Homo-oligomer: A and B are copies of this chain.
Amino acid sequence: MAVPIRVAVSGAAGQISYSLLFRIASGEIFGADRPVHLHMLEIPQVMDKLEGVAMELTDCAFPTLAEIKMFDNADEAFDGINQAFLVGSRPRGPGMERAELIKVNGPIFVGQGKALNRAADDVRCMVVGNPANTNCLIAMNNSDVPNDRFSAMMRLDENRAKSQLAAKAGVPVADVSNATIWGNHSNNQYPDFENAKIDGKPAAEVINDEAWLRDTFIPTVQERGAAVIKARGASSAASAASAALDHVNSLITPTPAGDWFSASVCSNGEYDVDPGLMFGFPLTSTGNGDWKVVEGLPMSDWARGKFEASLNELRTEREVVKDLL
């Protein structure tokens, strides 16, 4: 067996984690010969329910699942871990504004950022819990773990964008590449069709319907979460979990030549994004958990306007939590 990996998942009794944990434990993501030690983190009020999830994980008899531990505090949960999935966050209550949502989540991610100091030297942390970019910004700023080990999920948006482009073009989704979600994982994200490709050709040329791309494709991707809730009567869970696995997989697998993937990472000033902001960029990886922003992609003035709107939203979110940074 390969060297074990210690994986923490917060919000472990929630719906996204229920779709995520079993796929992590099965060996699908870190390898069929790599023992997984699961550290499941939850709030004290739902530890009973978490025990039920642990029972089911045990009942799967996964050969790769070496250990299951449950915690009601981040300090213990993050001790010695190699990978964190920060899935848990306070959901938006009735009538709650986005700024309020950001404020109530802030302290959780301050604590989790500090707790990550107890992780293994090679720890990497990805954030799913919304508002993901700003939660990740807070954790990163409260941790001694290097900034480039933090990322927030844009992959669900990227996958949605790819599947919408594929459906419109009438091609298999695997034919769509080079999809970027710029900026914030919110309704103000910018799903970039100008640089996306279908079967190696510019997506906009293949689809050849600028009105559809601007007025249907973009809002469909931006508002897909609400559409799923309306149809399913519950928010996206299995697709969010699948995107979280894709996100980590893209960081531990060499990126295919000529392609890239989207994640929110700490800006070093690329594309004139404020250094230090967590922003959705196109990335490549050598497969060692590292990443590099793909630079020099062209953008029309129209696209740059969409990009700036998302950037400004992230600046506003940072302002709301500035006392925590």
- Nearest residue (CB) in B for A18 is B238
* Interface-located stretch among A53-61, A82-90, A137-145, A273-281: A53-61
State how many copies of this chain the complex holds: 2
**Known interface pairs A28-B28, A163-B61. Does A56 touch B232 (Cβ–Cβ under 8 Å)?**
yes
Contact A62 B18 (CB under 8 A): no
Residues in B neighbouring A156, C-beta threshold 8 A = 59
Contacts of A242 in B (CB 8 A): 22, 26, 60, 62
A238/B173 in contact, CB under 8 A: no
Q: How large is the interface on A (under 10, 10 to 19, 20 to 34, 35 or more residues)?
A: 35 or more
One digit per residue, 1 when the CB lies within 8 angstroms of any chain B CB and 0 when it does not, for chain A 21-40 equals: 11100101000000000000
Q: List 21 A-B contacts (CB under 8 A).
A: A18-B237, A22-B239, A23-B23, A48-B231, A49-B231, A49-B233, A52-B231, A52-B233, A53-B232, A55-B231, A55-B232, A56-B232, A56-B239, A59-B160, A60-B159, A60-B163, A60-B242, A61-B162, A61-B163, A63-B172, A63-B174
Interface residues of A (CB under 8 A from B): 18-19, 21-23, 26, 28, 48-49, 51-53, 55-63, 65-66, 156, 158-160, 162-163, 166-167, 172-174, 176, 224, 227-228, 230-234, 236-239, 241-243
